Structure 1
Amino acid sequence: MNVDHLTTDILLQVVSEYVKKQLSLTINKITPFYADTAMTSQQAASAVLSMENGTTIEGTVSIAKYLLHQAGCTNLLGKTDCAAIEIVDWTNIFMTTTCMALKHDRKTALSQLNTLFSNRIFTVGTTLSLADLALFSVLYNTPFRISERFEIPNVFRHYDLIQHLVLAWKLESPLKLVEFDLNVPLVKPMVIAETSGKSTVKAATESTESAEKGSKSKSKDQSSAEHATTSEKTAIKAAKKASKADKTSAATPVSTNSALPDLSKLDIRIGTIVSVKRHPDAETLYVEEIDLGEATARVVVSGLVKYMSESALENRKVVVLCNLKPAKMRGIESQAMVLATTSSDGATVELLEPPAGSQNGDVCFFDGHKGTPEKQLNPKRKVWESIQPNFLTDTEFQAVYTTPDESKKVCVLKSDRGVCKVQSVAGGLIK
C-alpha cells in the first residue's frame, strides 16, 4: 500500500504506525506526517491510500477506518454498531468542523471542547477510540497557553491522557510530548467577618514553607495585603467593595432557582418530515425537509440511518428544536434538530412523538415554563448544553426535564394538545 499526500496528517501517522507495530500489516510507503499547522478539511479529503491492486481510498477518516479494519483493530472503532456510528461522526466533526473552528475562533472552539469533556473521559464510551485520536491530531499543533489550564482544564486533561496513551505504544516516529503543569497554587480561603455592621476582610496566604515553620499571619488588613499575592489582593478589594455595597442596599435573598437554566428559551415545535434522502457524503446521515408551519420547509441533517429507514421517516410527525445555530454537517447546513432518545445500551433510538392531533408549527413547552423562546440560542451561553443532560424519558416514556437542584422537580414537555412521548425507551437521554 502507498499512502500519499499525508504530510500534515498526524492521525494517519498514529494509526498506520500502530497497525504496523501491533499486527505487522504491510504498508509499503509512508510519507512524512509531521505538520507545522493544523490540517484543513480539504487536506483531510485529499489524503489517498493506493493499494497494490490499483484501487485507492480517499480521505483521512476512510483510510484510518480501512487500515484498522484490515488489521482487526476494531477496539478503536467501537464495540457496538451504535458506538461505531458515533465514533465515525465525532471523528469527522473533529477533523473538519473543529479544525476550522480553531482557526477562526480558537477561544470559542476550545471552550466548546471543554464543555464536551466536562462529563466524559473519552469521546465515546469508556475506552480509547479513533475519535480521540482524531481530536489529538487536530490539537497536536495547537499552542496551549499556561493561563488556559484553569479555563479549559477538561481539554488539557483529555489531550494529556491521549498523548500518554499514544506514547505508550512506542511508535516508530515518536511524537513530541507537551508538558502540562497541573499543580494548583495553594491559596488559603478568604474569611469575611461581620462585626457591628462593619465587614473586615481576613485574607492571607501562608506559603508551604511558612506553614511548616508555624509562622503567624499578621492581624491587620494592610499587613496582609502587603504580603499577599496578586490574586489575594484582588480578592481583598472585591470583598471590601461588596461590603461597601451591602451598606447602601438591602440584602436580596438568593433564589434557589437562580442557577437553573431557563427552559422557556428553547423553541421546540411540531413538524412533518416531507422529504428524506441519504446524505451524499456521509453514510450515517439523512437529509430531511421538515414542514414546521413556516413559509418554507427546513433542511435538517440527522444521524438516523442505522436506526430507521427512509420510508419510516417520510411523512412522520416529529418534535424539533428550532433555534439552535445552523451548523454544516458534511457540507450541508442543518437548520434544526429532530429530538430523539437513545436506550442506555445504545441499541435503540426512538423519535419523540407529538401528542395526538398535533399540527405543523404547534409549540411545545416544559410544564410550568411557558414563555417566549429566543430567536436563536447564543452558542456562548450554552442554554441547550445546560438543559440537555437532564432531559430524559421517564418510566411512563414521557419526555421530561428534571431540575438538578435539591427539589428534583419534573417538568414534562408538552403542547396544548398533550404530552410528548416515545414508544418504549425509559430513562433515555434526549438529544
Structure 2
Amino acid sequence: MSFQAAVSKLSTPTKELVVAVTENGTRHIGETEKDQTEVAEWIEKAGQADVASEANIQSLNSTLLPRTYLVSNYLTAADVAIYGALHPHFSKLQPPQYHGVPSLTRFFDHIQHSDVVRASAAALSPSFDLVAFDLENAPKLERKAEPSKKKEKKPAAVAEAEKPAAAAAPAEQATKKEKKEKKKDAAAEDAGKKKAAGGGKAPAADEGEPVPSMIDLRVGRIVDIMKHPDADGLYVEQIDIGEETGPRTVVSGLVNYIPIEDMREKFLVAVCNLKPATMRGVKSFAMVLCATSKEGKEGGIELIQPPPNAKPGDRVYFEGEYENGTPLPQLNPKKKIFETIQPGFITLESREAAWVNPTTKSVHRIRTKDGVCVAPTLVGASLS
C-alpha cells in the first residue's frame, strides 16, 4: 500500500496530525525506499480498528523494547500515526496499566514530547493534549536469567542405536577433507599470483599505533532526552550531529551526575565512530564526551562544551600534527584504539580539553574551526 493510501485510512485527527508533520519535512515519509515501505506498513496498522487491542498493545511493547523509533533511528510518520491512533487509549490508562507496557509507554511519551509533534498538534485542536505518566514510580522490571543450555545426555539405548548410522562418517569426512584441501590449494595459488603481480592486500586503515585522529569527534546538540525506562542511572538522548538521517539515539550514564534540566538542548562533543552498543535494551549510536573530576565521579562530571557559534555536525579535531587526519569509519573494539588514546585526554589549567601525548608530552588541544572545547569548571579532569 502506498503512503497516501495508508494515510487516507487513518481516523481524522490522526490523519491531520500525520499530514501536518510530513509537511514540516519530507524525510518523515522515510529516507530510503525500504524505510518508506515500512513507514506505509506501520501507518496501515495504525488505521486498523483493533490497533489498541490487548494483543496489538503487547506486540507493540515487544517490538519497541530495543527501539527508539519504529523505523530506522529517526522520527517518521509511522511513529506519529501509531502515537495518534493510541492517544485515546493511553489518555484513559491508569499507572498499573501503562506500567505493564513500559517500552510502549516510553515510546508514546517520547513521541508526544517531540518538537515537531507538539508544534503540529498545537496547530490542529486539543485532540492530542499531553498525557501525564508517573514514570518515576514505575515498578522495577524483573529480568529472568536465561536457562542454561546444557547438552542433554542421551539414553544408552539411543546412543547405541545411533552408532550404525555413524559408520559411514569416515568416508564422508575424507571426501570433505579432500574438497577442503583442493580449495586451500586453489586459494594459495591465487594469492601467489596476486603477490607476484604486485596486487598484495593493502594495509588496513587502523593498522599501526593508535593516534587520536582515528577518533571521529563532532559537535552535537541534545534535541530530546528521557530517563531510560529500564535503568535508573541512564539517560536516552536524541542528539543532532548534523546528519541527514536525523538525530542519533545515545545512551549515557549521567543521571546521578547531571540533572536532566541541565542536559536539555545542550551542545556537546560526541564520539561518533564507536561500535553501536545495546544498553539495557536500547541501542546507542555514539558517546557523549565528558570531563570527570580528578577526585573521581563524586567530585563532579561535566559535558565538554564546544565553542560559541558551533553547529551540530561541526568537525572536532586535535591541534598540531593530527589536525588533518581522517577518522576511521568505525573503531574496531578488538584493537582498543579509543581505550589506548583515552588516558591522554585531560582538561588544562585553562579548562581547555586536550590530548597529551604520553611519549613526547606534546599538548594537542581539542577544537573546532571556531575555537577550543572546554569544561565548564573542571581543571585536570579526565575525559571519557
TM-score of the superposed pair, with normalisation by structure 1: 0.40
Q: Larger RCO: Structure 1 or Structure 2 (Cα < 8 Å, ≥ 6 residues apart)?
A: 2
* TM-score normalised by the chain length of structure 2: 0.44
